[in-house]
Structure 1
């Protein structure tokens, strides 16, 4: 198992924002659904953070799956993949390549979008397959995530082949074949349940055809925004995953563990193995955000203290000086941007 797989899988904020926007299709209050999914309420407000934990998408899938029938869920996934999700990814591909090369590039982009993604081409049983490998088949979120993945991979194949690809054989890890065979545009495919991976069959002749790729200026620019994470230690991925949740002050370890779908003791043990104490790390993260707010905004010190959970300005000042060596007002004066 790679070191990355032992750490916290991260997802780019823009990717989570796409999924969060699907809640608008439901006749329910979006904020309540976001809270239930542990997706930050400011997800649509261009926040500073770049990543969120993959666990919030697992929560999202469970909440969405409980809110819609499988038929409506399939239609929502199909429409969102065809109209938004897949065109975005396809437009980020280089172009001038074969379908085989485009699928490899698509796989690389997915890994940059989500560190837990693992999609690849594989030849098995004399046929070529587009494969998605993902753990967690016995968890509630998995079936809904697999429904989306099947729909997404099918639309990618259609887009790259200008609709020359036709669904024939599809393997899924789930046991509920009926839920998959009723997915829009996949009614003619033969599904196989309880497979070791999710996989869609591709005729070999199509793989060597020229891929059909359409670019737009804004989307090509977006491709340059993707970047590999330089540090994938547990502490580094933990900080990126939890940063969106410390904007209102210190986060209790129990709540952090719930957000990450992790046992409290496991979280403590993983941090301690790298010489880090949870309470100390969270305090440092909170004060990093406080320092940023002091130097980049005109908010009063009292309002900043209140925002980060300090009802007593004197207590806030003492804590801030203990961390930085300066009072909040002196820090702002010396570090104002």
Structure 2
């Protein structure tokens, strides 16, 4: 690795859109508009429907902060965290929640989180006398919205435990990274548990005797490994895969622009272009490859007109798309579709 690459700030961690839980319905119930919030943070509406999409973690922080301001709720993340279901966290959540015991579920969460759902995140478990402390830390420099995301993450952890301890279970203690003098009562009402502020990382504490509990009520244990049912999230160190995933997200806003992608990743266009060059490509080439693959897939499927494909891929008109497609394949889109249908 070159000295410049070694000194370059790392790109933002990423998460699946599913980690936002039922945020759209939740905001509507609390008098807010998710559409307005998405416009403010410049994220596509597609993340509400295509829950497998990759979103920069720093952008999720910002979204939760704007949602809190939109609803006027200083504890928005904590309330949302009490409405989430861990099994809805894409394949990762389903896999975790089908473990035979709580101990096994926590092991799966630790083993699969950074591979299947979210990077730049560290889970830790430790024993404190008769209690277990389960903590979560986000390795991101962003501060706006961080505490909302921490509360949301604690909500998921609580839901995992409830799957084995029962729906009425509450933690013995909720530890937060808020300043030690912050009010506790509002959060104690939300969590129905004792709250302690001023900790380095947020965590929940519960009786260690629960670790051997088997699945409670409706959930059923399964040996089936859901881990391979969707592509892994990009590794934190993989510049190409991370940039490609966020460029895929940009495609839902129109033709991908490097300024948009770089901003979402917490860097500058020049820095991103340099890092792509160090990995043997450029943003133009990366976008070309992405659009080519999407175009071929849509043409193979045969259900979308060439005009609609062009517009879906961010081209201003079919002629521009056709010229690009000829450059990629040596054929027009219609000729390629005909060959695919009769091949």
TM-score bucket of the superposed structures, by smaller chain: 0.7 to 0.9
- Work out the CA distance in 2 between the residues paired with 1:230 and 1:169: 32
Equivalent of 1:58 in 61, 74, 89:
61
Residue number in structure 2 paired with 1:118:
122
Counting only pairs closer than 5 Å after superposition, residues 108-257 of structure 1 correspond to structure 2 as 108-111=111-114, 112-123=116-127, 128-136=132-140, 139-162=143-166, 166-175=170-179, 178=182, 181-183=185-187, 184-186=189-191, 188-193=193-198, 195-210=199-214, 212=216, 214-215=218-219, 223=226, 226-227=229-230, 229=232, 232=235, 233-247=238-252, 249-257=254-262
Residue number in structure 1 paired with 2:263:
258
Q: In the superposition, relative to structure 1, how do residues 163 and 309 fare at CA in structure 2: closer, same or farther (>3 Å)?
A: closer
- Deviation (angstroms), 1:291: 2.3
Residue number in structure 1 paired with 2:340:
335
Unaligned runs of 5+ in 1: none
- Deviation (angstroms), 1:130: 0.5
Residue number in structure 1 paired with 2:3:
none
Task: Give me the TM-score of the superposition, normalised by structure 2.
Answer: 0.77
Q: In the superposition, relative to structure 1, how do residues 322 and 67 fare at CA in structure 2: closer, same or farther (>3 Å)?
A: same
- Work out the CA distance in 1 between the residues paired with 2:210 and 2:293: 51
Q: In the superposition, relative to structure 1, how do residues 316 and 241 fare at CA in structure 2: closer, same or farther (>3 Å)?
A: closer
- Work out the CA distance in 2 between the residues paired with 1:287 and 1:32: 32
- Deviation (angstroms), 1:175: 1.6
- Count of matched residue positions in the alignment of Structure 1 and Structure 2: 328
- Deviation (angstroms), 1:274: 0.7
SS of equivalent to 1:131: strand
Q: In the superposition, relative to structure 1, how do residues 79 and 33 fare at CA in structure 2: closer, same or farther (>3 Å)?
A: same
Residue number in structure 2 paired with 1:103:
106
- Work out the CA distance in 2 between the residues paired with 1:127 and 1:113: 27
Residue number in structure 1 paired with 2:285:
280
Q: Which runs of 4+ in 1 moved over 6 A?
A: 219-222
- Work out the CA distance in 2 between the residues paired with 1:177 and 1:157: 29
Per-residue deviation, residues 253-281 of structure 1 (Å, max 9, x unmatched): 11112233333333223212211211221
